[in-house]
Amino acid sequence: MNSRIFLFFLSLRIVSVSCFFLPAFIPFGSARAEGGGFEAAVVPSVDTFFHERWRFTITESMPRVSRTDRVVRGQTFIPYVLMKGYRRTDDGRIDLSYDIRVVKPDGAALLVRQNVPAVQSRIERDDLVLLSANNLRLAFQPRDAAGRYAVEITVRDAIGQTVASDRSFIELADEMSGTAPIDDLKDLGNWMQSYYEDPHPEQINSVFFKFVKLSEPQDDAGFITPITFFVELYKANRHLLPELAALYPDEGGKNRFYILHVLYLTGAITHEFEQSLDSSGKGVLEKLRGTRWPDPYDGIEQPFELDMLWSGFFATGSFRPIAVLVRQLEGVSDRGELEKFQQHPKRDEIDGAPAMRDVHYRAAKWSIGANAAHHRLVREYCRFLLAHGKLSAAAKQELSEALQPPKSELQSTDLQ
């Protein structure tokens, strides 16, 4: 294998086999088939969470994948492989595999992978579009030449004895930059809440500094929620972190403070970078290392950690934050504990944990309903959890209610 492309596999199962093909999103019209109507398509994308939208949605409409036509060195992209028109055995088994080549601008092969397992399983129908269970994560290295690269696939249907092929192109650029029309906090909020639908990594650094400029001093909870959004963005786009670190010396104190948080929380602090810090920067870094950063995936302790989960969702479109939010609905068993706590004459002498679980349950239910009303993907993930999630009957009832049109605003959940 030519070592000029970093390569590793996504070990995924068959995802969303209940979805139908929508030509507006997946360009099967460009694919070439050899007999039997078997078709394949390859769609390069920087959306590294598309497989989750495919797997965890159950409606008969195709999740949208953003096609990428340009990347820079070190930037991860995934050539998603999709197939339809395959054959099944009498017991429903299918056997699909593919070869993939990345071809340099001069026509030489940069990467060749053969016999990658695509889908080898039993399915109930043969009219479904399938996403390969294994899709390669690729990133060009610094010495790769700029120019137009071809991504070619050949997919084999072992049951139907047919072959289909497709080709897409992606340009390797020396550099990319972009910005977004953000003038105020409203613009920033709109950009943050829609980013996962159509990712533009080239805008992240610019928008990050606009966010810092617009930010006002806040308490810990008010700071942690928005910075979490950018931390998740940078985790998904690690090729941007060296550039962010390189900007640090020329920035002012406020910008440096935010940059240090992002670099630390993404694990991007190098020894060389740390040695270059002045006493102020080293002081911030020392304080960060001595502070336990909230982790909502390790158990919700404070209500603002629910907002951290929403930040993670809006940055990536990932299923995991929604699953954790929905899990808080199990707190319905503690419904009413907040009022009991507030009315108790000796609060200091009783366990406040049931009241806090009640707070988390109420906040989660309201936020799920409010966001599901405006974000289709939230609704789709919740419907998947209703159908397949390991939830109690009571929690499923709460989730079903949350997905109904909201009727009232969340009441105060202050424990004071």
pLDDT digits (tens, 9 = 90+) for 329-345: 999 887 877 777 677 77
- Contacts with 208 (C-beta within 8 Å, 6 or more apart), sequence order: 230, 244, 258, 262
- State which of 266, 296, 326 marks the end of a domain: 296
φ/ψ (deg, to 5) at 152: -115, 135
Is 355 a domain residue?
A: yes
CA distance 38 to 77: 26
Number of domains in the chain: 3
Q: Domain check: are 253 and 388 in the same one?
A: no
8 falls in which pLDDT band (50, 70, 90)? Answer: very low
Is 45 a domain residue?
A: yes
Cross-sheet strand order for the sheet of 78-84? 39-45, 78-84, 130-131
Q: Domain check: are 94 and 190 in the same one?
A: no
Please count the other Cβ atoms lying within 10 Å of the Cβ belonging to residue 145.
13
Q: Domain check: are 144 and 246 in the same one?
A: no
Is 328 a domain residue?
A: yes
413 falls in which pLDDT band (50, 70, 90)? Answer: very low
Mean pLDDT score of the chain, rounded to an integer? Answer: 85
SS (H, E, C) the chain: CCCCEEEEECCCCCECCCCCCCCCCCCHHHCEEECCCCEEEEEEECCCCHHHHHHCCCCCCCCCCCCCCEEECCCCEEEEEEEECCCCCCCCEEEEEEEEEEECCCCCEEEEEEEEEEEEEECCCCCCCEECCCCEEEEECCCCCCEEEEEEEEEEECCCCEEEEEEEEEEEECCCCCCCCCCCHHHHHHHHHHHHHCCCHHHHHHHHHHHHHHCCCCCHHHHHHHHHHHHHHHHHCHHHHHHHHHHHHHCCHHHHHHHHHHHHHCCCCCHHHHHHCCHHHHHHHHHHHCCCCCCHHHCCCCCHHHHHHHHHHHHHCCHHHHHHHHHHHHHHHHCCHHHHHHHCCCHHHCCCHHHHHHHHHHHHHHHHHHHHCCCHHHHHHHHHHHHHCCCCHHHHHHHHHHCCCCCCCCCCCCCC
Q: Domain check: are 121 and 74 in the same one?
A: yes
Higher pLDDT, 368 or 251: 368
Q: Domain check: are 29 and 66 in the same one?
A: yes
Q: Domain check: are 154 and 35 in the same one?
A: yes
The model carries a pTM of 0.84
**Structural domain that includes position 10:** 5-173
Q: Domain check: are 13 and 141 in the same one?
A: yes
Is 306 a domain residue?
A: no
Encode pLDDT of 98-141 as tens digits.
999 999 999 999 999 999 999 999 988 888 889 999 999 999 99
407 falls in which pLDDT band (50, 70, 90)? Answer: low
- Contacts with 334 (C-beta within 8 Å, 6 or more apart), sequence order: 354, 355, 357, 358, 361
- Cα dihedral 66/72/74/78 (nearest 10): 20
Is 307 a domain residue?
A: no
Give the model's pLDDT for residue 29. 40
CATH number reported for the structural domain that contains residue 25 in this entry: 2.60.40.3880
- State which of 110, 141, 173 marks the end of a domain: 173
- Contacts with 361 (C-beta within 8 Å, 6 or more apart), sequence order: 328, 329, 330, 331, 332, 334, 335, 398
- State which of 142, 173, 204 marks the end of a domain: 173
- Contacts with 26 (C-beta within 8 Å, 6 or more apart), sequence order: 41, 43, 62, 65, 82, 129
Q: Considering only CA atoms, which of 310, 291, 290, 292 is closest in space to residue 301?
A: 292
Q: Domain check: are 231 and 110 in the same one?
A: no
Encode pLDDT of 151-178 as tens digits.
999 999 999 999 999 999 999 999 888 8
Residue with tokens 């995802």: 15
Q: Is the dihedral of CA 365, 366, 369, 372 positive or negative?
A: negative
Is 303 a domain residue?
A: no
Average pLDDT over residues 393-415: 73
Conformational region of residue 74, where left means phi above 0, alpha means psi within -120 to 50, and beta covers everything else? left
Q: Domain check: are 197 and 274 in the same one?
A: yes
Is 301 a domain residue?
A: no
N- to C-terminal Cα separation, the chain: 63
Is 230 a domain residue?
A: yes
Q: Domain check: are 279 and 159 in the same one?
A: no
Instruction: Give yes or no for residue 280 having a pLDDT over 50.
Output: yes
Encode pLDDT of 45-61 as tens digits.
999 999 999 889 876 56
Q: Domain check: are 22 and 123 in the same one?
A: yes
Contact 236/315 with Cβ under 8 angstroms? yes
Q: Domain check: are 196 and 260 in the same one?
A: yes
Taking only Cα atoms into account, the Rg of the chain, rounded to an integer number of angstroms, comes to: 24
Question: Exposed, middle or buried, 252 (CB in 10 Å: 0-12/13-18/19+)?
Answer: exposed
